[in-house]
């Protein structure tokens, strides 16, 4: 497959993830739509090609790991996992239903393919450092990927992990910051400004890049570059849009946790499916 | 304390969070020392009107609970009266050392508000479902832990804490509560409220379990069992006297809480009766389990937080009564 075709395929995968995420949340009627949508293009790149994983053998020891530290984006991760056949697509309809294996926040004990339990923001950063250390100790060449929210990196724990990962020269750790400029109560710059995220990571000793987080090509290329950075962990700051690909969510100021009507869901899905055809 | 019981128990119209915000705005209007802190959950707890009215006295620090508690303690050292909110697990578990040392040990003056108690965290699931918040905090010397039953009590307690000094925890239901008290009722922190008299057994309840306890007592009455119902809204300091009187007069106790029975109301009551007036005890509450995702009714069934369960346990405790 040519590079161009591969990119095209990843773009399609991203649209499919968006459609399925919308169905999950829309069927329930509410959920963390904004932060799920903003990270979809990265999930498409990771699950659509970059990550060395085996849906038949989800706990394969040599696999790459993903810690989605912003655990409330679970529904988007579940969509990617189902599309990659980690579990049946029908299961997506059970989001948050009694007895479900798909809770609103990622849970390693419930969902096939979910590597780590998250939901209390900040904790995933340390967990990813531990996983990367452990795999290195065992001589594995696998990568650990970590997805952080921009609001989430206000947690001090994140910076403890960032400091220690650099100290440990963890070049098998690649982190993403979903820089959608928003958190629950509004814009990060109005609440607790993050300043220059890339420079902050660099000053902690990380290899840092900044890309368009809605471009699968840029994300893909950044991961390739990150893998080339030896002797230090890598971060990719993703410029994203909260609610991306879902017009009513993009347009709402408070789009962290939203109600979704059947009409809104249908309209948004129709728009996305249009993209799949024309693209 | 002057309590008027509601004639009809029904869901209140207003959400508890809106009453919390209104009350704090009323206080802040009169007292410039009142400040509000949050960790990126002001919309969730309905505090946006406060932030608009008192922007210079609102400190939304972002997603950083431990820092928030430390900042609140620092503010109080300069004479401010801070109310700091997050979801209950993050307002307690996540920053216990800051609460213990920066607030408690340093003898500062901080009110911590933890929302979505127990199963009411519902769709946020296990990571957000605190069955341990009050239990953890019981370990802080001299802390006051309260779980307001309805909006009338909430308003009164929030106002009272504003005038007191120390570390306070208010366990806040965000949505509407079932009305138990009439407007104008006032409460005494540390004094339990008797809601219904009875002679065969006493049900000591807190939070959403108060309504379940009253329902259970009504059901039991139809079957000829006379159950007393007490609302123990202050977990610490516990109203020991009320517990001892219940033990003496009814000879059997059942506790009911939307919380772990470990280190919660059940434990606290067990400690008192074991040391003072030993009677059989049954504890309705979460039995050493983590939370999970789902709607509240499902979760209440799942964790046995229902009036059915209370009825069952009252019957059981009666069979264990010392003859
Ligand atoms: C420790 C902790 N505090 C608070 C919350 C509640 N909460 C969930 S998501 C969120 C905002 C997160 O913002 P961000 O990381 O930017 O996520 P995104 O915008 O990408 O959805 C908050 C405050 C939580 N889950 N964990």
CA of B213 to the centre of ligand 1 (A): 35
Q: Give kind and range of the element (H or E) at residue B68.
A: helix B65-77
Cβ separation A185–B295 shorter than 8 A: no
The whole-angstrom separation of Cα B222 and Cα A161 is 60
CB of B40 within 8 A of CB of B84? Answer: no
Look up residue A122 and give its DSSP letter. T
Identify whether residues B100 and B49 lie together within a single domain.
yes
The whole-angstrom separation of Cα B66 and Cα A126 is 16
Identify whether residues B111 and B250 lie together within a single domain.
no
Q: Tokens 């509601």 — which residue?
A: B6
* d(CA A154, nearest CA chain B) in Å: 5
The whole-angstrom separation of Cα B160 and Cα A31 is 36
Beta carbons within 10 angstroms of residue A276's beta carbon: 13
Q: Give kind and range of the element (H or E) at residue B145.
A: strand B144-146
CA of B127 to the centre of ligand 1 (A): 12
B64/A contact by beta carbon, under 8 A: yes
B295 contact residues in A (CB cutoff 8 A): 98
Cβ separation A100–B67 shorter than 8 A: no
Residue B322 has pLDDT above 90, yes or no: no
Query: Is residue B187 in a domain?
Result: no
A177 lines ligand 1 (CB under 6 A): no
Cis peptide before B294 (omega within 30 of 0): no
Conformational region of residue B298, where left means phi above 0, alpha means psi within -120 to 50, and beta covers everything else: alpha
Identify whether residues B164 and B199 lie together within a single domain.
no
Which of B172, B207, B237 is the last residue before a domain boundary?
Answer: B172
Q: Which of A233, A229, A223 is nearest to A169 (CA)?
A: A233
Share of chain B above pLDDT 90, in %: 99
The distance in angstroms from the start CA to the end CA of chain A is: 18
Cβ separation B61–A192 shorter than 8 A: yes
Q: Which token pair is B47?
A: 């505090």
Half-sphere exposure of B85 (CA within 13 A, CB side): 29
Which of B141, B172, B203 is the last residue before a domain boundary?
Answer: B172
Residue of B nearest to A110 (CA): B292
* d(CA B41, nearest CA chain A) in Å: 6
Task: Quote the pLDDT of residue B318.
Answer: 98
The whole-angstrom separation of Cα B23 and Cα B26 is 5
Cβ separation B294–A96 shorter than 8 A: yes
CB of A67 within 8 A of CB of A116? Answer: yes
* pLDDT per residue as tens digits for the range A205-237: 999 999 999 999 999 999 999 999 999 999 999
**Cβ-Cβ contacts under 8 Å for A229 (sequence gap 6 or more):** A171, A207
Cβ separation B64–A155 shorter than 8 A: yes
Residue A78 has pLDDT above 90, yes or no: yes
B165/A contact by beta carbon, under 8 A: no
Residue B78 has pLDDT above 90, yes or no: yes
Report CA-CA distances (Å) from A4 to A9, A11, A216, A217, A238: 9, 11, 11, 9, 21
CB of B216 within 8 A of CB of B310? Answer: yes
pLDDT, average across residues A117-131: 98
Q: Ligand 1, from B40, B62, B115: best to mutate by most atoms within 8 Å of Cβ?
A: B40
Identify whether residues B217 and B277 lie together within a single domain.
yes
Q: Could you say which of B63, B292, B302 has the minimum Cβ distance to residue A183?
A: B63
Identify whether residues B89 and B154 lie together within a single domain.
yes
Identify whether residues B203 and B315 lie together within a single domain.
yes
Query: Which residues span the domain enclosing B65?
Result: 16-172
Q: What is the ipTM score, two decimals?
A: 0.96
Share of chain A above pLDDT 90, in %: 97
pLDDT, average across residues B219-231: 98
Query: Is residue B11 in a domain?
Result: no
Identify whether residues B87 and B228 lie together within a single domain.
no
Q: Which token pair is B121?
A: 């965290």
**pTM score above 0.90:** yes
Say which CATH number the domain at B41 has: 3.40.50.970
**Best mutation target, A185, A186, A193, to test chain B (most B CBs within 10 A):** A185
What confidence category does residue A269 fall into, taking pLDDT thresholds of 50, 70 and 90? very high
CA of A188 to the centre of ligand 1 (A): 11
Query: Is residue B130 in a domain?
Result: yes
**CA-atom Rg of chain A in angstroms:** 17
What confidence category does residue A279 fall into, taking pLDDT thresholds of 50, 70 and 90? low
**Best mutation target, B127, B289, B292, B296, to test chain A (most A CBs within 10 A):** B127
Report CA-CA distances (Å) from A105 to B123, B249, B276: 9, 47, 45
Q: Tokens 């069979």 — which residue?
A: B319
Task: Quote the pLDDT of residue A1.
Answer: 64
The whole-angstrom separation of Cα A111 and Cα A94 is 12
Identify whether residues B253 and B309 lie together within a single domain.
yes
Identify whether residues B198 and B165 lie together within a single domain.
no
B124 contact residues in A (CB cutoff 8 A): 104-105, 119
Query: Is residue B177 in a domain?
Result: no
CA of B233 to the centre of ligand 1 (A): 30
The whole-angstrom separation of Cα B321 and Cα B323 is 6
A72 lines ligand 1 (CB under 6 A): yes
The whole-angstrom separation of Cα B203 and Cα B252 is 9
Q: Tokens 């004479």 — which residue?
A: B79
Query: Is residue B78 in a domain?
Result: yes
Q: Could you say which of B62, B127, B298 has the minimum Cβ distance to residue A105?
A: B127
Query: Is residue B54 in a domain?
Result: yes
**Cβ-Cβ contacts under 8 Å for A278 (sequence gap 6 or more):** none
Q: Which token pair is A165?
A: 């990962």
pLDDT, average across residues A178-206: 98
Task: Quote the pLDDT of residue B62.
Answer: 98
Residue A278 has pLDDT above 90, yes or no: no
Q: Which of A55, A41, A27, A103 is nearest to A238 (CA)?
A: A41
Share of chain A above pLDDT 70, in %: 99
Identify whether residues B99 and B197 lie together within a single domain.
no
Number of domains in chain B: 2
83-142 of B, contacting A, C-beta below 8 A: 89-90, 94, 123-128
Q: Tokens 């829309």 — which residue?
A: A26
Q: Tokens 């209950």 — which residue?
A: B88
Residue B132 has pLDDT above 90, yes or no: yes
Q: Which token pair is B210?
A: 């108060």
Beta carbons within 10 angstroms of residue B55's beta carbon: 8
pLDDT, average across residues B95-117: 98
* pLDDT per residue as tens digits for the range B231-262: 999 999 999 999 999 999 999 999 999 999 99
A120 lines ligand 1 (CB under 6 A): yes
CB of A38 within 8 A of CB of A178? Answer: yes
Identify whether residues B140 and B57 lie together within a single domain.
yes
B302 contact residues in A (CB cutoff 8 A): 98
H helices of chain A, in order, are 3-28, 33-37, 40-45, 74-83, 123-137, 156-167, 188-191, 197-203, 216-228, 247-251, 262-278
Residue B16 has pLDDT above 90, yes or no: yes
Using a CB–CB cut-off of 8 Å, the residues of A that contact B are 30-31, 71, 96-100, 103-105, 107, 117-122, 149, 151-152, 154-156, 183-185, 188, 191-192, 254, 256
Identify whether residues B163 and B21 lie together within a single domain.
yes
Q: Could you say which of A100, A104, A154 has the minimum Cβ distance to residue B62?
A: A154
Residue B20 has pLDDT above 70, yes or no: yes
CB of A123 within 8 A of CB of A135? Answer: no
SS3 letters across A145-179: EEEEECCHHHCHHHHHHHHHHHHCCCCCEEEEEEE
CA of B9 to the centre of ligand 1 (A): 36
CATH for A3-278?
Answer: 3.40.50.970
Query: Can you give the length of chain A in residues?
Result: 279
**Best mutation target, A107, A155, A157, A252, to test chain B (most B CBs within 10 A):** A155
Residue A23 has pLDDT above 90, yes or no: yes
Query: Is residue B128 in a domain?
Result: yes
Residue A51 has pLDDT above 70, yes or no: yes
A18 lines ligand 1 (CB under 6 A): no
Query: Is residue B182 in a domain?
Result: no
Look up residue A109 and give its DSSP letter. T
pLDDT, average across residues A197-203: 98
The whole-angstrom separation of Cα B285 and Cα B49 is 35
What confidence category does residue A276 fall into, taking pLDDT thresholds of 50, 70 and 90? confident
pLDDT, average across residues B216-223: 98
B48 lines ligand 1 (CB under 6 A): no
CB of B280 within 8 A of CB of B320? Answer: yes
B38 contact residues in A (CB cutoff 8 A): 185
Ligand 1 atom at shortest distance from the alpha carbon of A150: 16
Ligand 1 atom at shortest distance from the alpha carbon of A73: 21
């Amino acid at each position: 497959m040519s590079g161009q075709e591969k990119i095209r395929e990843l773009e399609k995968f991203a649209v499919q993830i968006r459609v399925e995420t919308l169905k999950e949340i829309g069927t329930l009627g509410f959920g963390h739509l904004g932060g799920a949508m903003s990270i979809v293009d990265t999930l498409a790149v990771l699950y659509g090609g970059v990550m060395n994983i085996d849906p038949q053998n989800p706990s394969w020891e040599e696999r790459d790991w993903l810690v989605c530290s912003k655990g409330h984006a679970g529904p988007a991760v579940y969509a990617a996992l189902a599309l990659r056949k980690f579990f049946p697509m029908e299961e997506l309809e059970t989001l948050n239903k009694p007895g479900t294996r798909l809770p609103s926040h990622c849970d390693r004990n419930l969902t096939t393919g979910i590597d780590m339990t998250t939901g209390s923001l900040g904790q995933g950063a340390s967990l990813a450092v531990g996983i990367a250390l452990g795999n290195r100790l065992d001589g594995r060449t696998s990568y650990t990927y970590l997805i952080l929210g921009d609001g989430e990196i206000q947690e001090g724990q994140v910076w403890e992990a960032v400091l220690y990962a650099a100290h440990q020269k963890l070049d098998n750790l690649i982190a993403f910051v979903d820089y959608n400029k928003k958190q629950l109560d509004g814009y990060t710059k109005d609440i607790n400004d993050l300043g220059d995220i890339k420079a902050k990571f660099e000053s902690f000793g990380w290899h840092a890049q900044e890309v368009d987080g809605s471009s699968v090509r840029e994300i893909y290329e950044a991961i390739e570059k990150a893998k080339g950075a030896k002797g230090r962990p890598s971060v990719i700051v993703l410029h994203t849009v909260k609610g991306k690909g879902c017009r009513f969510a993009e347009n709402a100021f408070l789009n962290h946790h939203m109600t979704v009507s059947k009409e809104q869901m249908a309209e948004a899905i129709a728009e996305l499916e249009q993209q799949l055809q024309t693209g | 304390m002057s309590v008027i019981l509601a004639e009809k128990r029904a869901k209140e119209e207003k959400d508890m969070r809106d009453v919390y915000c209104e009350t704090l705005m009323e206080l802040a209007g009169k007292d410039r020392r009142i400040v509000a802190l949050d960790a990126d959950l002001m919309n969730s707890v309905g505090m946006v009107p406060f932030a608009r009215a008192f922007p210079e006295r609102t400190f939304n620090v972002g997603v950083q609970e431990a820092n928030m508690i430390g900042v609140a303690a620092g503010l109080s050292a300069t004479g401010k009266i801070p109310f700091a909110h997050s979801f209950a697990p993050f307002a307690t578990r996540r920053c216990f050392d800051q609460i213990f040392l920066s607030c408690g040990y340093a003898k500062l003056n901080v009110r911590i508000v933890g929302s979505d108690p127990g199963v009411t965290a519902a769709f946020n699931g296990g990571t957000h479902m605190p069955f341990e918040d009050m239990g953890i905090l019981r370990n802080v010397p001299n802390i006051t832990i309260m779980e307001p039953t309805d909006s009338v009590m909430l308003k009164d307690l929030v106002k009272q804490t504003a005038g007191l000094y120390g570390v306070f925890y208010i366990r806040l239901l965000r949505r509407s509560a079932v009305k138990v008290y009439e407007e104008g009722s006032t409460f005494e922190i540390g004094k339990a409220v008797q809601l219904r008299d009875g002679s065969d057994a006493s049900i000591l309840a807190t939070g959403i379990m108060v309504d379940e306890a009253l329902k259970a007592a009504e059901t039991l009455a139809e079957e000829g069992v006379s159950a007393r119902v007490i609302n123990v809204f202050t977990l610490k300091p516990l109203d020991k006297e009320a517990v001892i009187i219940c033990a003496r007069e009814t000879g059997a106790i059942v506790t009911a809480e939307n919380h772990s029975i470990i280190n919660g109301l059940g434990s606290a009551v067990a400690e008192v009766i074991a040391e003072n007036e030993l009677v059989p005890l049954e504890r309705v509450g979460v039995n050493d389990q983590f939370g999970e995702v789902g709607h509240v009714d499902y979760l209440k069934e799942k964790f046995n937080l229902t009036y059915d369960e209370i009825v069952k346990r009252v019957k059981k405790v009666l069979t264990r009564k010392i003859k």
